[in-house]
Amino acid sequence: MEIVVFDGFDELDAFGPFEVLSMAGFDVDLVVAAEPGSVRSMRGVQLAVPRVLGSPDGLIVVGGGWMNRAEQGSWAEARRGVLPDALARAAGTARWAASVCTGGMLLAAAGLLTGRNATTNRNAYQELRAYGGNVIEERVVDDGDRITAGALSAGLDLGLWLTEREMGAERAATVAATVDFSRRSPVWTRPE
């Protein structure tokens, strides 16, 4: 499983699901879209990221910097186009693609949420609709091979949901108890 980061990413978007999924037993890597190297978060955390987004079984893209149109962050990455192109390619072979907060806007910019049920930061709902997404106002929305989570703390819920979906409810409950986190709402799932 790969979590995609970039200059200006929000730390909790990445490290919340990273910790939950790692605790659950998943092999999780932080990756970048193009060139491996140094990445700086929106609050100045500097990371060495040696891997580039490949062909993962599942991928998570994080947000940060969308709402304030920051020069570095998800909005800037959508404008550059490199990351959305990489996401579109990777999603073609992945079993699922997921997002946290305005990482959903990057999935949308990649064309991966058009006509799909999804969520993002509530302040970006209108923009998600403009990209053709069907906004569901929930913390986590599971639309099959697209799973999206709302604002940043919902990344913990996303990690727990992916754990439940892939490893079962008992494993998810164990991880939730270990991190002392209670889910705030049920996951919205696509009706069969």
What is the model's pLDDT at position 151? 86
The percentage of residues in the chain with a pLDDT greater than 90, rounded to a whole number, is 95
Mean pLDDT, the chain, whole residue set: 97
Query: Is 90 exceeded by the pLDDT of residue 111?
Result: yes
Pairing of strands 2-4, 58-61: parallel
Alpha-carbon separation of residue 21 from 4, 40, 91, 95, 120 (angstroms) = 14, 22, 19, 16, 20
Reported confidence tier of residue 152, pLDDT bands at 50, 70, 90:
confident
Indicate whether 19 pLDDT > 90: yes
pLDDT higher for 152 or 160?
A: 160
Q: What is the pLDDT of residue 184?
A: 84
What tokens appear for 70 in the block?
């920051």
- CATH assignment at residue 119: 3.40.50.880
Flag whether pLDDT at 62 surpasses 90. Answer: yes
Taking the CA atoms of residue 153, residue 154, residue 155 and residue 156 in that order, the dihedral angle to the nearest 10 degrees is 80
- Mean pLDDT, rounded, for 108-119: 98
Q: Which residues contact residue 56 at a Cβ distance below 8 angstroms, ignoring those fewer than 6 apart?
A: 1, 2, 90, 94
Q: State what percent of residues in the chain have pLDDT above 70.
A: 100
Average pLDDT over residues 66-79: 97
pLDDT per position as a tens digit, 124-148: 999 999 999 999 999 999 999 999 9
- Average pLDDT (37-48) is 97
Total domain count, the chain:
1
Identify the domain containing residue 102 by its residue range. 2-189
Three-state SS letters, 40-96:
ECCCCCEEEECCECCCCCEEEECCCCCCCCCCCCHHHHHHHCHHHHHHHHHHCCCCE
Q: Which has the closest alpha carbon to 78: 92, 99, 59?
A: 99
